[in-house]
Amino acid sequence: MNKHRSFIAATAIFVVYTFVTALGWHLVVFDGYYRTLEIYRDDKIIPFGFAAILVQGVVLAYLYPRIFPSGCALRNGLKFGLLAGLFGWTYSTLAVAAKFSMTSVPGFVLIETGYNIVHYGLAGPLMAMAYNKSTET
């Protein structure tokens, strides 16, 4: 697969996986818990969330082959997921907990940390596979 197609594939994989995971986590599985935190608006603006995911996907798909130009796809994907997840956690969890009113800061940090682990723990390897990296260890 050429670099352009790999970039498009990695972006698409990230966007689809993230959109489905984020909607499922925040608006279905843990919707009741997030409501008890009283942090999010009732009328979510889904297009803004999708736009954010698209920008993240483009940036991460651009960065992946520059950070990991070769090597084991699984190992590199997990490392990339850890790096991206840690970075994402700082603005999706720590910064939000610092700025917004909510009924339980520890509860919010816990649930969002769980989301980031689940999300980036698989998003990194999925993006790595899009770049057809070697699976040798």
The tens-digit pLDDT sequence of the chain (137 residues) is 588 899 999 999 999 999 999 999 999 999 999 999 999 999 999 999 999 999 999 999 999 999 999 889 999 999 999 999 999 999 999 999 999 999 999 999 999 999 999 999 999 999 999 997 433 44
The total of structural domains in the chain comes to 1
121 domain residue, yes or no:
yes
The C-alpha atoms of residue 124 and residue 37 are separated, in whole angstroms, by 29
Mutual angle of helices 46-67 and 3-23, in 10-degree steps? 140
137 domain residue, yes or no:
no
Q: 72 near 137, Cβ under 8 Å?
A: yes
Question: Residue 103's domain spans which residues?
Answer: 3-16+31-130
68 domain residue, yes or no:
yes
Tell me the CB-side half-sphere exposure of residue 67, using CA atoms within 13 A.
20
98 domain residue, yes or no:
yes
86 domain residue, yes or no:
yes
42 domain residue, yes or no:
yes
Residue 101: partners with Cβ closer than 8 Å, 6 or more residues away: 38, 39
The helix or strand, by DSSP H or E, that contains position 14, with its residue range, turns out to be helix 3-23
24 domain residue, yes or no:
no
Residue 63: partners with Cβ closer than 8 Å, 6 or more residues away: none
12 domain residue, yes or no:
yes
- State pTM to two decimals: 0.90
In DSSP terms, 72 is beta-bridged to 134
